[in-house]
Every structure is written in C-alpha cells, then in structure tokens.
Structure 1
Amino acid sequence: MARDFFCERLVLTSDGEVREIDLAHPVVCVVGPIDTGKTTLADCIKYALGLRVAWREVPGERLQTVTLFVRIEGMRIGLRRSLVRDVSNVELLDSNGGGVEEILDVEPKPDSDRRVVGEVLLDLLGLGEMFAPPSAVALLGSGARLTFEQLYAMCYLTQDVVDGTESVRGKANTTQSYRTVVELLLGLTDGPMRVLTARRDELSRTLSELRRQAETINAFLSGSAADLETELARSHDEEHAALQRLEEFKGRMRAATAHADPLRRRVQEAEQVLERYRRAVTDGEHTLGRLQQKVKELIHQRDNGPGRCSPCPVCCADLTLRPVPEGDCPLCLSELDPSVLAHALHAAQDALAAAERQLTEQVKAHSEAQTAWEQARIELDARTREEISPLAAQIELLAAAHATARTRTTMLERELEPHRRLAELHRSVQAAEDELKGVREEIRTRKNLLAGRQTTLGEFEEHFTELAGSVGLPGDPGARLNHSSLLPQVRAGNLTKVGHGVRCAINVVYRMAFLSYALVTGATDLPSFLVIDSPRKNVGYGDDDQELVGRLYTHFLDHIAGVRSGGALRARPHQIIIVDNDLPQLPKRLLDQMHTIELTRDNPLVP
C-alpha cells in the first residue's frame, strides 16, 4: 500500500535569522512572483533529504542550515543539513527534543562506518530490501542498487521536467532504473525477481564473454589435442627415463667419490706437511744468511780493526776527524779487548754451523714430504682417471639428454595449453548454460506468481487515461501508457507530437495518476507525497490555457483528496506541495482544502 511520507515543518537559518514554515497540511500551495523563493522551498526539502541541489544564487548565498521535520510511516524525525560547514553529512534529529541522534553520510564513503541518509529513508519507508536486495547487490554491486534519489524523482515533478517529454522520469533515473522503480512500486516485480534478473543478466554476460574467448582461442589453434596429448605423454616418458638414468649415474658418481675420499684426505694431509717443511726451509735459509753475514763482519773486524763511526749515532755530528788512539773503540774510545771479539766470532761460527746442519735436515724432510705428496697425487689421479672421469662424462651426456627431453615437454605443454583452456571454457560454458536455464525457469515461475500483478498495470493505465480524459485535453490527443518505457505517450507517438501546454498537462496527470491510484487502491508502494513545480506557468496564460489549468487543478485536487464519482472519501495520509506563480480560479471547496503560503518580494522565503 501507499507509504506514509509527510513533511510537517521546515526551518531555515540565514544570516542570523530563523524562519519556520508550517507544512503540516495535506495540500500546500506556495505562490508568489518570480524570485521569491518558491522553487527554493522545494529545493530545501530535497536538500534536507540528502539529495543534490543546484541552488539559485541568492538563496544559496544567504542560507546557512536547512532543517526538515518529516513523518515517515508513523515515525517523526528531523533532518538538518548545513550549507556552510560539512555539506557531506546530515544530522538525524530527535523530533521532540531536537537533539542530534546520529550523523548520516550524504553519499557512501569507503572509510566511513556511518549510515547513508538515503538508505535510512528507504528503510523507514520499508523499501530497503526492495530497492537494494543484498543478494543482488552482492552479485552485481552498485548496478543492482536503486537509491532514494531515484524514488524521490517519482515524487518531485521539477519545473524543467514538468515541461519535458520522456524526461518526466527525472534526471536521477535512467531509462532502465525508471522502469524498474515503476515496476517495483506497482508490484510488477519484487526483490526475488530482481535477484533472479540480476543473476540472469550476469550469466548472459558471462556466457557471451566465455564464448568470445573460446572463439578467439579456436581461431588460432591447429592440430589435434588428442595427438598433442599422446606426444606429450611420450615426451614425459622420455624425460622420466632420462632423469632416472641421470640419477643412477649421479649415485654411482657419489659412490666412486666416496671411495676416493681417503686418497683425497691423504693428498690434503701430504700437502699440509709439505707446506710446513717448505716454510721451515725458507726460515732456515733466512737464518743461515743472517749468521753468515754476522760471521763475515766479525772476521773483517778481527782482521782490519774496528771502523770509524761517523756520524755520531746520537747527535749526528761528523766524527771522521776525531783522533782515536790505536787499540781503542772508535765509538766510546775505550780500550779494546781482543779476546772478547775472538769469543764473539767463535760463538757466531758455532751458531752458523748449527744452522747449516738444521737446514740440511729440513731440506731432506721437505724432499721426503714432496715425494709423499707426489705419490699420493699420482694414486688419486689414477683413481679419478679410472673410475670418476668416465662417470662424469656419462653424467654430462645424460644431463644434456634430460634437458632436451624437458625442453620438448615444455614446448608441447605450451602448445597444448590453449587446447586445455578451450576445453575448460567449453566446460564453463556448459555450466553457465545449465545455470542460466535454471534461472530462466525460476524467472518463468516467478513471473507466473506475479502474473496477477499485470492486472495492476492495466488498472493503472485505465486510471491514467480516465484522468487524462476527465481533464479535457485540447484536441483529444489520446494519452496512454507506453508499455515498453512505462512513460506517457499520445496517439501520435511521444509527447513531442503535442503542444507545450498539453504536454505539461499530461505530465502532471501522469504523476497525479500514480499518487491518486495509490490513495484510492492502496495497490502501490509509492510514498504518498508529491511536489509539482509551476504547472500553471508551464501550461500557459491564454484563455484556453487558463481553462485547461483550471480543470487540471480541479481534477487533480479532487482525486488527491479521494473524491470519486460515488463521493466516498478515502482517508489515506497524503501530502501535495504545489509551487506556482499564482492559482487559477478554483471552487471554494478546493480552496478550503489548501494551506496557502504566499511569498512576496517584500517577504521572500529567504530574507
């Protein structure tokens, strides 16, 4: 049934002033000259609901905050939104105390855990599951989500839309989303059907993509997959056999190497001994040379006496001319003792003889170590030549054979991969086709369950044509419903085939039909709320236009009030806000139904 959506109060703050507008009436008419704020009032309602607004220049500069108190399905809430601070959120207010209960985001934010105002409004209307079923959203993401903005476009006939043609659906709605919204509101579809339809569309797209990929791969394939599989199996066998042979010889190599390890250790030990004796011989030769030089110097000193010492080792003075007595030391001028020099010479000659004997022994040991090392090396080389080298050569050949087999296997696998991918695609296509078949069967079953709702569409179309006929459109254009787009059309085609005033009247009647059908039958989930901006101005001011707009207002208000031919009044909650320059001549009974807000240039909406 129709959803209760009723604006009760609008509070505007601007430049330190506060203005409160009473909207708590079923029919509200806002009238006044151009640029007094009529459309701005409708924009303020829209802005407080978290929707986008293209502000007119002056009100947009003066306004600071907009607060709307609204009743939704019996729950009263307040919505406050700033124009000068953070415009990306809306404050949810307690309608009694006016305190802030929650901060709502205007649009979804990836890094925010706050709720979105449009989703809160849909939930309050009981339409959240219908407009954004979780399973469909999870399946198709945002493509399956209808928003509050698209629903509100059904409740707000803007000034540019009221003069339009197919744009009657509103800028928030695409052709597809508008049709979906109408079908949901009239019950021609439901949440489960949307999920099934989303899955069907997703499967259809997936099938198309899989078939395209399969055709692309198939166009470049040559040869038989079975032949390639046979060749690949043979190549795998060859590779496996080569690998087994290679591992066998590697094992034999490890065994032969282990058998030769004692010889290697013997060679290493001999090398260490040889190196040790080599260093000892080198050190002995160095010691022997040093001692030989010392003996030579002492013999020369014994035979020729001590040589003069100059310059002085302390002060570097020239001592060559200093007189040195015979038999005295040229350095300290002390008397020399020949026996001390003879003793030093004898000691140096003994040390030299000992060094010669030790060097002879070291040379002999080095020669023996050299012989031992060479013998060990000869034995190791013989073992390597007889056992290890043939195995190494065979391993090299086997490694080459295995690499060749592996390369061939890799090439065959690469050549076979597109065939396998194609086979996988065929399996995926078959699975998708089977699932799509099942989904289509479920859709047919669901359509049968919803088949009775087609009666609703027929009733709604009849209701619309009846209202259009009762208005008395000039020339009897034959207003009817386009079953493809669910938009209004005329006998000659789309609305561009008729004049400006008739086009405007048909658009108003079309929206009136939705609301009055909801109020009279309760067979729709449309919110019982409608804003129409400037119908009189858009119809025109000629005599015929005046008569047409008078009939339009009369029938509109009669139907909205629930007055039918039988005179039975339907007490369903509803609200209509009409914005226009002025009102046509209307009967008193209709004027009494209205709450009129008159704006003037001296008393505009936003001071």
Structure 2
Amino acid sequence: MSGRLRIQWLRIRVGQETWQQRYDLDGSLVAVVGPIDRGKTSMIECVDFLFGRTVQFRGAVDQRLRAVQAQIQIGDGTYRVTRDRDHPGTVWVEEADGTPVGHFLLRSQDEKPSWSTWLLMRLGLDEMFASVRLPGDRRLSFAEDLLPYLHIRQEDIDRFVVRPPSRTTPRLAVFKLLLHLTTPETERLAGAITDTRNRITLQRRKARDLARFLRSSDATSEKALDAELVTLREREREARDVVARLRAAANASATHMAHLHRQVDEARARLSEAEDTVERDHRRHQEARSKVKALRDSLSHVDAVEDVEPCEREQLTYAFDACPACRQGLGERVVPPGHCGVCVLPLPGAAVEAERARLRKMEEAAATALATADQDLRGSGEVVRRARADLDTARQRVDQHLAASTSPHVDAIAAATGELAALSAQISALTRLRAPHDQLRRLERDTERDARKLKEMRERHLQLSAQLVRPGDALERLNSLFRQIVHAFDLPWATGRARLDPETWTPLVDDQDFGQRGGGSRTAVSVAYSLALLLYALEQPADFHLPHLLILDSPQKNLGRNSHDQALAARMYRWMADYLQDRAAALSGTTSGQRYRDFQLVIVDNAIPAEVRDSFRPTVTFDEDTGFVRELEHPHGPPLPAEQLRFGDDVGIELGSTA
C-alpha cells in the first residue's frame, strides 16, 4: 500500500480545443501566490474538480473554463487525468505516455468501478471505504470523505476541522479507517450489528402494537377464532361433499342428455336424406309427365293433319329419342308438317299410320314410367313424414329429460355452491383476523433468532476490536506531533497545552476546542492539526494510511498586518519549510526519507514570507496583469466608461435640489 499522491502539472482548456500552457506543480513544497481575485483558489478547485468534487466556479473561470487536465502520481503509477465540464459525469484516464486506461463514471454503473473506487484502489483504500455504511446507506467516497483531509479550503480553514459538525460521522469513520482503529471486517460487522439491532427494535415495536390490538377486543381472541374456524371448516367440508355428489349426478344426467342429443342428430340426418330423395323423385315425376304430354300432343297433331294437303299442314314437333342410324338426339327437332320425323321427307299415307303406331307405343311406355314415378314419389313422401315424426319424438325426449333431470340439478348445484362460497368467505374473514396472531408468533420467533445472531456478532466484534491498534498509542503519538507544531508556531497567549480530544479526534489548545478560539488562532490550529496528520502518515505509514498530499488554502486567513500576526505567519511558514526539509535530509537514504521526498505540500496564499520563499519550488506566481486564466484582459467584464462629474448649479439639480 502506497500513500503517494502528487500533482505534477495542471492545465485548463478555455475553448473547444485551446489548451493553455501547463502549470508546473511537481515538487514537495509548492506555492501558488498572488494578489486577491487572481484565480489562486480557482486553480486549486480545478484539482478538486478532477478528483470528482462538484465545484461552483466563479466569475471568468466559470464563464471560460471547459476542461481540466492534470498529471498525477498516485500509488505506484503516473496518470494523465481529464474531466470535461460538458461531460462532468465522466473522467478520462491515460498513462503518462498517452496509453488509454479508460473512462470512469462518477457514479458506479454495473460492475465497472466508479472514479472514486479507481482512486481508492490505487491507494489501497477501496476495501476499507467499501466496508463502511453511513446513515441512509451512503458509502464513503474519495471526493466527499477523503479529499477534505487533503485539501483544507479557504472558506473552511477557520470554520471547522476537516468537516463541518454535521459530517462528524463520516469524518470519524474515515479517520478510524486511516488510523487502523478499525478494519473492513470490523466495519462490515458493525454495519451488520446496526442493521440487526434496528431490525430487532422494529420487530419488537410491531409485536407490541399487534399484542395491544389483539388484546383490545374479544372478537380478536385467539381461542374464539380457532374454535369458530374449526366449526366453519367442518361445515365447509360437508358442503364440498354435497356439491361433489350433486355434480356427479348432474354428470350422469348430462351423459344421458348427450345420448338423446345424438338421437336428435341421427333423426335430423335421416329426415334430410329422405327430403333429398323426395326432391329427386319429384323431378323424375315431372319429367315423365312432361314426356307423356308431349307424346299425346304429337298424336293429336298426326290425327289433325292426316287429311290436310302437305303444303297446308302445320309444322309439327316430334319427340324422338334418337336417330335409328346414328343415335343422335332428335327430341328437339322441328319437322315440317307431313314429313317424317327421322328423315324429314314427306310422309306417305302408310307412313302416317306407322308414325301414329310408333307414337302410341312411346306414349304407353311414358305413361308406365309416369305411374312408376308417381308411386315412388308417394313412397318417398311417406318416408319423409315418418322421419319428421321421429325427429319430433327425439326432440320431445330431450325437452322432457331437461325438465325432469337437468334443471333440478342445476338449481341444486347453484344453491350448494352458494352455501360453500359463503362458508369460504367467512373462513377467509376469520383467517384474516387470525393472521395478526400468526404474524405475532413470526415476529417473536424472528426476534429471538436475531437476538441470538446479534449476541454472536457482538462477541465476534469484541474479538476483532481486541486485535486493533490501541487508540491510546496513536493518540499519544499524534498529541506529541500536534504539541510540537503548536509549540513551534508559538500561538499568542497559548500555554502550550495542545492535544487531541480522544472522543472526536479534534484539536484542543489550552483545553479550548476549535470553535472557542479567535479567527486567526483557529486558522493556525487548523494548519497545525493537518500538518500533524501528514507527519504521522509520513513517519508511521503502516499505522496511518492518509495519502501524502496536503493543500492549504490561505493559511494566513484572519491574520492581520500587525507585527505580532505577521511574526506568527513567519513562524508557521518557517516550520513548514525548515522541519520538512530538515527531516527529509536527516532520513536521506532510508525508506522514511523516500516518503519525505514523495510527499507534496501545496500552499495557496497572497504572499509568502521572504525568508522562506526560496524553499517553495516550484512557485506559481500571479500578479496584477496575469491570473489563472491566461490572456484575460478584463476578468469581470469591461469597465464602465468614465463619467464627467458636474459642478455648480448642475450638482444641486442632479441631487434633487429644490433651489
């Protein structure tokens, strides 16, 4: 696990493609100095923006800034990081040589780590932070919970220590994790203990409310409900048996009804067949009658034209079946009067007699066929009458069975089913009344089970807590470092009694907490506290996992320009410059010395005392003509044009004089 976190350089984009020149920040002691309103704080807020904070930029920076890019050393790697204000939910990461690493969302999605998780993984803190569950099921993050230890902001440096009082819970959670006063397993177990304890409290409250409700009325008496349910369930069983018997009888009746319906269908089929036969016989009868009539008409014509001259005879139509030679049909052929119906030649006298004989023979055959067709028609008509009678009989049987058997079964089944439904509704209503008793039993069982589980988890938590670093050891070392720094600062009117509160881990100077001191004194105490944490992380990295980066914005805030306040500022800066450099030199060649070379302390201030100014390299300097956003002539807009002042009588008029 490496606590290295250093910003090597930073640059901004002020248009769609225009990246400004880099600001070099690669050093252990770095200063950003210049007059007020030059963008010093905005520059450091760009670092926060890169690390995932939501930053409200101001003035010209807010209007012109489009993206921020920096190269950072974190853990064992060096990366180029970019965050675009047009896509603020995503951070792009590359290796120092430009090889893409990936893009990371500020909020985790699916299985891909978020930007906060990626940063914590590089520092070896991801498992620690993931183990803590804050109120509202919120998780610790780099930007919201770790960054406040690393960047003491200008507006906060004299207001509170690291986090406001409302954020004490996450502040302490991070502090204890970093100080190894807890472990991921301990935190997960503590979260499970809290959840189980809350669940037990909720279950007991519900159980009390249920018990109070159930005791409030005899209608909810468990014994009375159980007795009534037994009676109703017995009646329900009997009603089910009745319904089953009725449905069985109805099924038997339905089987016979189906048989009767089949008989109706069969009778209807026989009637349809008989009606088809009658129709065919009727057609044959009509055809035979027409043929007989035609032959008789032919005979009448033959008799009528026998004595008439051939030229005066009417045209006759003879019905011959076919030509005797070729057998072609001659039935529709029109023959001139007195001519042969076959050869169409004039008929001699003997031929007329022969034709008459032939027609009579054909007429006799046609009459015989007509008699046969008439007999067949009467026979098929009788068959139709009998088939229709059979159908009527079958239908009557269906109606009789329906009236005698099916309808009574339907009524009986409806009545029995209605009674069964009423019993089931009563049972359902009583079961709902009985449900609170069952719920009460479940709550009691679940509470007993969770209580046993809670006891086991507390015993395990005690075992794990015994293996942790003793708070007293860490507190003693931090107190020593804090006292050393406060003594070096030589706070006015302070007696030198400086320590950390063992409950809140916040600074006490002369037994006064942070809020009880004056503004300038609070600033100095806040600086001393943050420097003590940084020193402890550098000297005891195995016991304190705070990253080795500290940004102090306005460490002279609320210090006046008088000699006493300026002397205090000089002592603060002298200690930061001399102690850290001397310590790095003393530990040169050792592992601790390497850590003192890798740490980074960034100071943002209007000016640095001249005697230590050379100790801060690199130094980013802004002046009256240059600010954070380069080549910006009027950061807050063009000035108003000069206005000519008026004198004499005009002045009185302009001021509303009544003279």
TM range (shorter): 0.7 to 0.9
Q: Which residue of 2 aligns with 1:143?
A: 138
What's the offset of the Cα at 1:152?
1.7
Question: 1:242–1:401: 8 Å Cα contact kept in structure 2?
Answer: yes
The verdict on how the C-alpha distance between 1:230 and 1:28 changes in structure 2, with shifts beyond 3 A counting, is same
**Separation in 2, partners of 1:433, 1:455:** 34
Give the letter aligned to residue 32 of structure 1: G
How many residue pairs were aligned? 576
Q: Which residue of 2 aligns with 1:205?
A: 198
Question: 1:2–1:524: 8 Å Cα contact kept in structure 2?
Answer: no
Question: 2:48–2:55: 8 Å Cα contact kept in structure 1?
Answer: yes
- Cα deviations by residue, 1:550-607 (Å, 9 ceiling, x for unpaired): 222233444544659xx88862322211111111354x6x854654343323454442
What's the offset of the Cα at 1:77?
0.9
The verdict on how the C-alpha distance between 1:367 and 1:507 changes in structure 2, with shifts beyond 3 A counting, is same
The verdict on how the C-alpha distance between 1:127 and 1:335 changes in structure 2, with shifts beyond 3 A counting, is same
SS of the residue corresponding to residue 530 of structure 1 reads: strand
- Cα deviations by residue, 1:141-189 (Å, 9 ceiling, x for unpaired): 96233335421210111111113235x3279x93211111111122222
Question: 1:481–1:488: 8 Å Cα contact kept in structure 2?
Answer: yes
What's the offset of the Cα at 1:530?
0.6
Please give the residue correspondences for 1:103-182 in structure 2 after superposition, counting only pairs within 5 Å. 103-110=102-109, 115-133=113-131, 143-165=138-160, 168-169=162-163, 174-182=167-175
SS of the residue corresponding to residue 104 of structure 1 reads: strand
SS of the residue corresponding to residue 201 of structure 1 reads: helix
Give the alignment partner of residue 467 of structure 2, picking from 445, 449, 452: 449
**Separation in 2, partners of 1:140, 1:342:** 124
Give the letter aligned to residue 456 of structure 1: A
Q: Which residue of 2 aligns with 1:517?
A: 536
Give the alignment partner of residue 179 of structure 2, picking from 183, 186, 189: 186
Question: 1:188–1:454: 8 Å Cα contact kept in structure 2?
Answer: no
Does 1:476 find its partner at 2:477? no
Please give the residue correspondences for 1:202-601 in structure 2 after superposition, counting only pairs within 5 Å. 202-218=195-211, 220-221=213-214, 222-255=219-252, 257-258=254-255, 262-277=259-274, 357-373=375-391, 376=394, 394-450=412-468, 452-476=470-494, 480-488=499-507, 495-522=514-541, 523-561=543-581, 571=593, 572-573=595-596, 574-584=599-609, 586=611, 591-592=614-615, 595-601=618-624
Aligned-residue identity in percent: 26
**Separation in 2, partners of 1:19, 1:164:** 35
- Cα deviations by residue, 1:350-396 (Å, 9 ceiling, x for unpaired): 88876664453344323333444455556666777777676556544
In the superposition, the TM-score normalised over structure 2's length comes to 0.72
What's the offset of the Cα at 1:548?
2.1
**Separation in 1, partners of 2:4, 2:338:** 138
Question: 1:47–1:81: 8 Å Cα contact kept in structure 2?
Answer: no
Question: 2:34–2:621: 8 Å Cα contact kept in structure 1?
Answer: yes
Question: 2:479–2:498: 8 Å Cα contact kept in structure 1?
Answer: no
Larger mean CA deviation between 124-133 and 430-439 belongs to: 430-439
Question: 1:81–1:87: 8 Å Cα contact kept in structure 2?
Answer: no
Give the letter aligned to residue 487 of structure 1: T
Question: 2:494–2:510: 8 Å Cα contact kept in structure 1?
Answer: no
Question: 1:146–1:177: 8 Å Cα contact kept in structure 2?
Answer: no
Q: Which runs of 5+ in 2 are unaligned?
A: 301-311, 317-333, 340-355, 631-659
Give the letter aligned to residue 163 of structure 2: R
Give the letter aligned to residue 516 of structure 2: K
Q: Which residue of 1 aligns with 2:40?
A: 38
- Cα deviations by residue, 1:455-482 (Å, 9 ceiling, x for unpaired): 3134424543453344232343966544
SS of the residue corresponding to residue 470 of structure 2 reads: helix
- Cα deviations by residue, 1:295-324 (Å, 9 ceiling, x for unpaired): 999999x99xxxxxxxxxxxxxxxxxxxxx
Give the letter aligned to residue 501 of structure 1: G
Larger mean CA deviation between 183-192 and 550-559 belongs to: 550-559
Give the letter aligned to residue 93 of structure 1: E
- Cα deviations by residue, 1:452-509 (Å, 9 ceiling, x for unpaired): 2343134424543453344232343966544454334566865443322112112112
The verdict on how the C-alpha distance between 1:292 and 1:424 changes in structure 2, with shifts beyond 3 A counting, is farther
In the superposition, the TM-score normalised over structure 1's length comes to 0.77
**Separation in 2, partners of 1:489, 1:299:** 147
**Separation in 2, partners of 1:370, 1:356:** 21
Question: 1:184–1:190: 8 Å Cα contact kept in structure 2?
Answer: yes
**Separation in 2, partners of 1:476, 1:504:** 14
**Separation in 1, partners of 2:575, 2:181:** 27
Question: 1:260–1:380: 8 Å Cα contact kept in structure 2?
Answer: yes
The verdict on how the C-alpha distance between 1:131 and 1:289 changes in structure 2, with shifts beyond 3 A counting, is same
SS of the residue corresponding to residue 8 of structure 1 reads: strand
The verdict on how the C-alpha distance between 1:155 and 1:234 changes in structure 2, with shifts beyond 3 A counting, is same
What's the offset of the Cα at 1:30?
2.2
**Separation in 2, partners of 1:234, 1:421:** 23
Q: Once superposed, what is the RMSD of the aligned Cα atoms?
A: 4.6
Question: 2:107–2:115: 8 Å Cα contact kept in structure 1?
Answer: no
Question: 1:291–1:348: 8 Å Cα contact kept in structure 2?
Answer: yes
The structure with more radius of gyration: 2
Question: 1:32–1:599: 8 Å Cα contact kept in structure 2?
Answer: yes
Give the letter aligned to residue 35 of structure 1: D
**Separation in 2, partners of 1:263, 1:67:** 94
Question: 2:494–2:509: 8 Å Cα contact kept in structure 1?
Answer: no
Q: Which residue of 1 aligns with 2:100?
A: 101
The verdict on how the C-alpha distance between 1:283 and 1:406 changes in structure 2, with shifts beyond 3 A counting, is farther
- Cα deviations by residue, 1:196-218 (Å, 9 ceiling, x for unpaired): 12112222333344344445555
What's the offset of the Cα at 1:528?
1.6
**Separation in 2, partners of 1:415, 1:17:** 73
- Cα deviations by residue, 1:526-547 (Å, 9 ceiling, x for unpaired): 1121111111244232332212
Give the letter aligned to residue 169 of structure 1: R
